[in-house]
């Protein structure tokens, strides 16, 4: 149990005006421990995933079809092999609401405008299930790198990760996207229980500064939305200036936008932190056809790709041959309908397949995580409860009677990385930067 004396007095006074007699229940919620949740990744997770992890799960998140609460006192799912394999994403229950409201369809062209660290982007990708496009954007370069790593970990093939400010994207993609997620930078009031340090950065003035920035971001999102498309705007704050009032002002600036649904999650009512979400729709325009410029891909000769093609023939049951982009010695598979991202700062253009080196091709960790065991000729499975998987994640080799060559390593059937078999020993190719210590 914790107290609530850390809360800024100006914040408490404003909440008293907003909540009236409910203030006491609201403040009591800050004396309770935070509630932890995760969300299964439908791109990889089996339908029985929740049953397989029933020993740590404590119930389903009522507004999230793949979300579950877990016991974080006796369990650490962040170090479980399934986390390394991208089977689930650790995400606050309340933060799972906005994408559920946006509810993209397979084939949609989607944008996550303020995407790091990647919770909502990976949730959108789970709705798309490999069909359509996800442009996942984060203006801050260091945060965009984390976003890209999470896109990779969850085995997402049809995402382009960019690092640009919204005005720059709006110039490139006018009336382009069917669905846009705007999880706007905010004053973070809903995170005070989880992060007491956020209180030190809060002030009434910072709320107004955030509201002004959010208005600009929403206006750029409007410019990129096709007629008939939808925006979900969300924050993790309770400030009406950043939430209800921001949405009302946005509709006043853009009368062709309609508020479809608006929800707020309170920590004293719901199991999760504070969150706000509004679903908005742009009016249809008769006979509108989006002018979507796609990436103009120059064909790369088989001679230049010879080492990759040899790898693909020997390793993959259905070699990836379409939409290949060679950037220096780095090889990517662009998604179908890939937007023209020339001139933008792109961290990941589709699926990174690997690197062409002298007389050989070295497959990427991203490719391993994006493949299933059914797509690879040679696989070797490690049990999640065994010492072998721990040794593998620490960088150890595995003794196994498998044919020489690249081997997809799996944990309980989930792809987790590469190994290379040589005379009965699988040499470890799990990335050094991701390995367990100790």
Pairing type for strands 324-327 and 257-265 reads unpaired
Between 204-224 and 244-253, two packed helices, what is the crossing angle to 10 degrees? 40
Q: How far is CA 344 from CA 38, 77, 163, 168, 170, in A?
A: 33, 36, 8, 8, 12
Q: Is 421 helix (H, G, I), strand (E, B) or coil?
A: strand
User: Whose CA is closest to 41, among 87, 80, 82, 79?
Assistant: 87
Q: How many angstroms separate the CA atoms of 186 and 237, rounded?
A: 7
Separation CA 175–CA 238 (nearest Å) = 31
In degrees, to the nearest 5, what angle opens at C-alpha 153 toward C-alphas 147 and 157? 85
Between CA 325 and CA 340 the distance in angstroms is: 13
Active-site positions read 236
Do 4 and 25 meet the contact criterion of CB atoms below 8 Å apart?
no
Q: Is 27 helix (H, G, I), strand (E, B) or coil?
A: helix
Q: Are strands 425-428 and 379-382 parallel, antiparallel or unpaired?
A: unpaired
């Amino acid at each position: 149990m914790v107290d609530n004396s850390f809360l800024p007095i100006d914040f408490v006074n404003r909440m008293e005006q907003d909540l009236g007699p409910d203030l006491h229940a609201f403040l009591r919620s800050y004396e309770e421990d935070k509630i932890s949740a995760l969300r299964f990744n439908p791109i990889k997770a089996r339908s029985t995933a929740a049953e397989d992890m029933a020993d740590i799960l404590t119930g389903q998140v009522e507004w999230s079809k793949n979300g579950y609460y877990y016991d974080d006192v006796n369990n650490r799912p962040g170090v479980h092999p399934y986390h390394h394999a991208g089977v689930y994403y650790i995400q606050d229950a309340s933060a799972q609401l906005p994408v559920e409201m946006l509810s993209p369809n397979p084939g949609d062209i989607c944008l996550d405008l303020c995407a790091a660290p990647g919770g909502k982007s990976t949730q959108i990708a789970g709705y798309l299930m490999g069909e359509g496009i996800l442009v996942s954007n984060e203006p801050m370069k260091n945060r965009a790198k984390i976003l890209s790593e999470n896109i990779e970990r969850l085995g997402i093939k049809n995402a382009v990760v960019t690092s640009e400010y919204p005005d720059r994207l709006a110039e490139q993609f006018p009336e382009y996207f069917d669905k846009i997620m705007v999880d706007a930078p905010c004053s973070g009031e809903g995170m005070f229980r989880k992060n007491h340090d956020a209180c030190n950065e809060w002030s009434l003035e910072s709320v107004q500064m955030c509201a002004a920035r959010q208005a600009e971001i929403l206006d750029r999102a409007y410019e990129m939305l096709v007629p008939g498309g939808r925006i979900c705007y969300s924050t993790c704050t309770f400030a009406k200036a950043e939430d209800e009032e921001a949405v009302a002002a946005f509709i006043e600036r853009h009368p062709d936008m309609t508020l479809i649904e608006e929800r707020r999650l309170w920590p004293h009512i719901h199991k999760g932190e504070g969150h706000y979400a509004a679903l908005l729709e742009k009016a249809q325009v008769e006979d509108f056809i989006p002018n979507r410029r796609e990436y103009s891909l120059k064909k790369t000769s088989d001679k230049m790709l010879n080492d990759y093609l040899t790898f693909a023939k020997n390793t993959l049951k259905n070699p990836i041959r379409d939409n290949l982009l060679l950037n220096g010695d780095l090889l990517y598979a662009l998604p179908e309908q890939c937007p023209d991202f020339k001139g933008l700062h792109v961290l990941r253009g589709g699926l990174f397949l690997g690197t062409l080196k002298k007389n050989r091709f070295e497959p990427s960790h991203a490719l391993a995580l994006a493949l299933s065991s059914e797509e690879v000729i040679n696989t070797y499975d490690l049990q999640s409860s065994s010492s072998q998987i721990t040794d593998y994640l620490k960088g150890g080799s595995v003794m196994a009677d498998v044919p020489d060559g690249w081997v997809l390593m799996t944990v309980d059937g989930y792809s987790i990385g590469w190994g290379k078999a040589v005379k009965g020993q699988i040499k470890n190719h799990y990335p050094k930067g991701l390995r367990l210590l100790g």
